[in-house]
Amino acid sequence: MFMAIIYDIEQRSSKINQQIKSSSQLHSRSIPSSISRLAPLEAILFDVDGTLCDSDPMHYYAFREMLLEIGYNNSVPITEEDFIEKVAGKNSEDIANTLFPDWDREKAMKFIDDKEARFRKLASKQLEAIDGLYKLRKWTEDRGLKRAAVTNAPRPNAELMISILGLSDFFQHMVIGSECERAKPFPDPYLKALNLLNASPEHSLVFDDSASGIKAGVAAGMPVVGVMTRNPEKSLKDAGASLLIKDYNDPKLWKALEDLEKAEATLKKADV
């Protein structure tokens, strides 16, 4: 039974990747990068779900099956488009309010908590890093940059994913949206991360995969690299992404980082 679930997730993940590839071909022009103006770069802030790992297919599967179990929407399965619109990138409170506007809060949050537990079981077997993540990790560490994970995911989810990915020692801080006064799309989580790192928004960069997260990073005063894991390219552009990449091997990312390094070298020469 479990292998059948995993096969279903992999099939859906493959379908999602094909949709992203087609979208990228139709809309290949990205917003011009503003990353080089960050020189000298101090910090990099990463979202978790969909940014460090392709976890959304597992979230979608867990939601779809649990909603079917309670007869949600007359037992019509939610579509991937519904998931992107109502769930992806949002915090637990907002998801509960969107899916169950007529339920009392305790009942709705119990459902969300149970869903997260089911997700963690799937993630413990299937979670993988976005392509090129460890290359960017090395680049970040080699330059001694400050780094934090900033997410709307519940803390148990975030800690599990970061542990599975082998990044527990990489991040100096982890900021959880629900533990801030306001979660993404408000800037509070990213501003809290900057404060913890003692970094300035003028010299910090965000990586996020959702419109909600991109809006939060932009509102916090930072350029955001939109990771096109599965959310529509147009929604990431409209949210204000400075650069759109397929994954961390994307040549556009490394060209932008090369330009940043050149800008930093120019500043050093000017200081001599």
4-14 pLDDT, tens per residue? 545 555 555 55
Mean pLDDT lowest among 24-33, 134-143, 256-265: 24-33
Domain with 60 in it: 56-126
The catalytically annotated residue of 8, 49, 56, 142 is 49
Q: What is residue 2's predicted lDDT score, i.e. its pLDDT?
A: 43
User: Do 138 and 199 belong together in one domain?
Assistant: yes
- Looking at 126, 147, 177, the residue that finishes a domain is 126
Mean pLDDT of 233-240: 96
Give me the pLDDT at residue 261, please: 97
- Whether residue 6 lies inside any domain: the answer is no
The answer to whether residues 74 and 152 belong to one domain is no
Q: Name the residue with tokens 């990353």.
A: 35
Q: CB-based contacts of 72: which residues, under 8 Å, 6+ apart?
A: 78, 99
Looking at residues 179-199, what average pLDDT do you find? Answer: 98
Q: Give the end of a domain, one of 126, 144, 169.
A: 126
Residues 171 and 43 in one domain: yes
SS3 51: coil
pLDDT score, position 197: 99
Query: Does residue 231 share a domain with residue 141?
Result: yes
**Residue 85: predicted pLDDT:** 85
Same domain, 260 and 198: yes
In the annotation, is 94 catalytic?
Answer: no
**Pair of tokens at residue 103:** 């339920």
pLDDT in tens, 129-144: 999 999 999 999 999 9
* Same domain as 181, residue 62: no
Strand duo 43-46 + 204-208: pairing: parallel
C-alpha distance from residue 195 to each of 43, 173, 187 (Å) = 11, 11, 12
Q: What is the pTM of this model?
A: 0.82
What's the whole-number average pLDDT of the chain?
Answer: 89
Res 246 pLDDT > 80: yes
Average pLDDT over residues 206-234: 96
Number of domains observed in the structure of the chain: 2
- Give the model's pLDDT for residue 7: 53
Same structural domain, 138 and 117:
no
In a domain, residue 264? The reply is: yes
Q: Is 49 a catalytic residue?
A: yes
Residue 203, pLDDT above cutoff 70: yes
pLDDT digits (tens, 9 = 90+) for 107-127: 999 999 999 999 999 999 999
**Number of CB atoms found within 10 A of residue 11's CB:** 11
Report how far residue 220's alpha carbon sits from residue 108's, in angstroms, rounded to the nearest whole number: 30
- With beta carbons less than 8 A apart as the criterion, state whether 215 and 182 touch: no
Q: Residue 24's pLDDT is what?
A: 39
77 and 109 together in one domain = yes
Asked if 36 contacts 139 with a C-beta cutoff of 8 angstroms, the reply is no
Catalytically annotated residue among 8, 47, 247, 259: 47
Q: What's the CATH code of the domain at 138?
A: 3.40.50.1000
- CB neighbours of residue 118 within 10 Å: 16
Instruction: Assess whether 81 and 170 both reside in one domain.
Output: no
pLDDT of residue 89: 78
Residue-wise pLDDT for 58-95, tens only, equals 999 999 999 999 999 889 999 998 888 888 878 888 99
DSSP 220: T
Q: Among 74, 158, 62, which residue's Cα sits nearest to residue 115?
A: 62
Residue 237 CA neighbour count, 13 Å, CB half: 11
CB burial class (10 A; 0-12, 13-18, 19+) of residue 34? middle
- 19, part of any domain: no
49: nearest Cα among 139, 172, 183: 183
When pLDDT is cut at 50, 70 and 90, the band that residue 15 belongs to is low
Same domain, 112 and 234: no
Determine contact, residues 226/244, Cβ cutoff 8 Å. Answer: yes
**Residue 21 in domain:** no
In the chain, the percentage of residues whose pLDDT exceeds 90 is: 77
